[in-house]
């Protein structure tokens, strides 16, 4: 009888243990796979995650997290907390799978969060307006109107500087963002604020009268943040993903896509562009729209190329004989059946036609936006020299189908050691790189200025604004 009771008790215990074992939550990676969705905390910022007026989402962190979700075979949902410091708190409390928000790795944050290996670096920079005397160092910031975003590593570094003896005072602002603080400096409501270096590079085209006084920190590493846990399944998968992107060159390509063009123009260049936008572009828009539609080219791209060529000056003439809005050579104009290069409509038509032929010559296996950047380089330097650079790229073990790799080899075409190995010889390859970089900047500035113009005019048709959206990686 006692044996029967013992056996019954044993069975009950076994069932309870099995039930208890089944109640254990699955690993983090498995939970993501089970729900079919990756939940990511981020913030609205041009460097991380932004949505334009057409609902198009872009940003470095957006692209990076989306690629990770694609690798896992799940969808991705981005959550945007109202306060920056909530990103850190919600991540540590497991309210999302991880944070991808351009977060600096700091000693304070490492106490509550687990960071992946970094994927780029930034410095923190003090931003001021030209009308304000440039402060030479931290000690010149006393008695100033100075705000930074609360909860950021900007505030952490200021507290560290003050602890080390600096006479600093500042306000940590809630319910705002870095862009708003930058606008306040631009409008004279603040003397200074702090941005990350990649943020300011993007903001500067919008605020050409702002500049960087100095950096308040050494370069800081940017990484994804995970909650601290004994369960490393999802974290390990993210670490492997980032490592793979570094090895394949995709990470470098993403960095070029978002940050590879934004620091080239200076104050004078930005102001000149804005002035010509207001005084010259409007008369050319009908011709740009017509030719862009005729040859299947994005009209923002075409307008940017036209500005790079002539600053939208219909009477432009160079010492070498090229002339007109698109600065066509006599031979190119003849090939494109253009009779009068100084006629804006004919010049734009000829330039659009020629650019279309360059795009057609780029191998079909090369995807956007690399396809467009290479076509622009060939528009400037010639298809033969572009192919020489691509061959050098392949010989050096890099990818000849990626602009980020080819643009590093184009300047070699001006060095005898390298151009003597090529079919087409010497070329000023660095000029082609600058050419493409400038056009990318002009595309971005055109989108910003057209959006501002449309918002200021009630009832403006969206079809009248330029809106270039090159396919994402």
Q: Is it the case that residue 293 has pLDDT exceeding 90? A: yes
For the cut 50, the answer to whether the pLDDT of residue 400 exceeds it is yes
Q: What is the pLDDT of residue 8?
A: 59
What's residue 266's pLDDT?
Answer: 76
pLDDT at position 463 is: 43
Cβ atoms of residues 341 and 347 within 8 Å? yes
Q: Facing residues of 40 across strands?
A: 78, 98
- Asked whether residue 2 carries a pLDDT value surpassing 60, the answer given is no
Is 79 annotated as catalytic? no
168-173 own/partner pairs: CB under 8 Å, 24+ apart:
168/138, 168/141, 168/142, 169/142, 170/146, 171/146, 171/147, 172/147, 172/148, 173/147, 173/148, 173/149
- Residues 399-415 have a mean pLDDT of 95
pLDDT at 389: 97
Q: Please state the three-class secondary structure of 362-384 as a single string.
A: CCCCCCCCHHHHHHHHHHHHCHH
Please check the confidence at residue 18 and state whether its pLDDT lies above 70: no
More confident residue, 262 or 227: 227
> For the chain, what percent of residues have pLDDT higher than 90?
67
333-388 pLDDT, tens per residue? 999 999 999 999 999 999 999 999 999 999 999 999 999 999 999 999 999 999 99
pLDDT of residue 12: 56
Structural domains of the chain ordered from first start: 28-120+222-260 (3.40.190.10), 124-218 (3.40.190.10), 267-449 (1.10.530.10)
Confirm if 199 and 181 have CB atoms less than 8 A apart: no
pLDDT confidence tier of residue 11, bands split at 50, 70 and 90: low
Does pTM surpass 0.85?
no
**Catalytic residue of the set 309, 387, 453, 464:** 309
Q: Is the pLDDT of residue 216 over 60?
A: yes
Name residue 126's beta-bridge partners: 194, 214
Residue 454 has pLDDT above 90, yes or no: no
Residue-level pLDDT at 260: 77
The Cα–Cα gap between 404 and 367 comes to 13
Residue 195 has pLDDT above 70, yes or no: yes
Mean pLDDT of the region 5-33: 64
Q: What backbone phi and psi angles, to 5 degrees, belong to 104?
A: -75, 145
Residue 464 in this model has a pLDDT that exceeds 50: no
Going by pLDDT thresholds of 50, 70 and 90, the confidence category of residue 453 is confident
Distance CA 337, CA 24 (A): 74
Question: Looking at residues 422-436, what average pLDDT do you find?
Answer: 93
- Provide the pLDDT confidence category of residue 165 given band limits of 50, 70 and 90: confident
What average pLDDT score do residues 452-456 get? 71
Q: Distance of CA 47 to CAs 179, 184, 199, 413, Å?
A: 11, 19, 6, 33
Q: What does the pLDDT look like over 261-292, one tens digit per residue?
A: 666 667 778 888 999 999 999 999 999 999 99
Q: Which residues contact 154 (CB under 8 A, 6 or more apart)?
A: 124, 148, 194, 195, 216
The confidence score (pLDDT) of residue 46 equals: 87
For residue range 90-147, list pLDDT tens digits in order.
999 999 999 999 999 999 999 999 999 999 999 999 999 988 889 988 888 877 889 9
213: tokens are 């006084």
Predicted pLDDT at 3: 57
pLDDT(86) > 70: yes
What is the Cα–Cα distance from 343 to 408, expressed in whole angstroms? 37
CB 87 within 8 A of CB 41: yes
* pLDDT value at 21 more than 50: no
The mean predicted confidence, pLDDT, of the chain is 88
Instruction: Give the pLDDT score at 282.
Output: 92
């Amino acid at each position: 009888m006692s044996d029967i009771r013992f056996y019954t008790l044993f069975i009950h215990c076994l069932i309870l243990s099995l039930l208890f074992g089944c109640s254990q939550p699955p690993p983090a990676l498995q939970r993501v796979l089970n729900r079919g969705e990756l939940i990511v905390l981020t913030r609205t910022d041009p460097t991380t995650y932004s949505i334009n007026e057409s609902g198009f989402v872009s940003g470095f962190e957006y692209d990076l997290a989306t690629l990770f979700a694609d690798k896992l075979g799940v969808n991705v949902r981005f959550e945007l907390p109202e306060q920056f410091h909530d990103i850190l708190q919600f991540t540590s409390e497991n309210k999302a799978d991880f944070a991808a928000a351009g977060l600096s790795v700091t000693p304070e944050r490492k106490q509550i969060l687990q960071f992946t290996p970094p994927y780029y670096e930034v410095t923190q920079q003090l931003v001021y307006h030209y009308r304000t005397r440039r402060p030479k160092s931290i000690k010149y910031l006393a008695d100033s109107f100075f705000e930074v975003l609360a909860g950021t590593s900007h505030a952490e570094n200021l507290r560290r500087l003050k602890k080390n003896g600096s006479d600093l005072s500042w306000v940590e602002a809630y319910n705002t963002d870095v862009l708003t603080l930058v606008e306040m400096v631009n409008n004279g409501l603040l003397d200074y604020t702090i941005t990350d270096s990649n943020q300011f590079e993007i903001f500067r085209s919008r605020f050409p009268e702002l500049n960087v006084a100095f950096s308040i920190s050494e370069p800081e590493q940017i990484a994804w943040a995970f909650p601290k846990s004994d369960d490393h399944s999802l974290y390990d998968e993210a670490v492997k993903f980032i490592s793979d992107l570094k090895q394949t060159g995709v990470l470098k390509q993403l960095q070029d896509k978002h940050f590879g063009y934004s620091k080239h123009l200076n104050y004078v260049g930005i102001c000149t562009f804005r002035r010509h936008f207001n005084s010259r572009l409007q008369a050319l828009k009908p011709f740009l729209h017509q030719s862009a539609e005729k040859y299947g080219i994005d009209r923002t791209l075409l307008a940017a190329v036209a500005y790079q060529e002539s600053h939208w000056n219909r009477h432009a003439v160079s010492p070498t004989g090229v002339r007109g809005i698109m600065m066509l050579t006599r031979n190119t104009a003849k090939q494109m059946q253009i009779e009068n290069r100084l006629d804006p409509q004919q010049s734009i038509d000829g330039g659009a036609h020629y650019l279309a032929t360059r795009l057609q010559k780029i191998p079909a296996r090369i995807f956007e936006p690399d396809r467009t950047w290479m076509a622009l380089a060939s528009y400037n330097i010639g298809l033969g020299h572009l192919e020489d650079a691509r061959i050098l790229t392949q010989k050096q073990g890099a990818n000849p189908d990626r602009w980020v790799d080819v643009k590093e080899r184009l300047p070699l075409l001006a060095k005898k050691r390298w151009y003597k190995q090529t079919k087409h010889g010497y070329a000023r390859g660095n000029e082609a790189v600058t050419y493409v970089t400038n056009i990318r900047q002009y595309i971005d500035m055109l989108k910003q200025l057209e959006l501002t113009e449309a918002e200021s005019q009630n009832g403006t048709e969206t079809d009248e604004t330029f809106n270039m959206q090159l396919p994402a990686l």
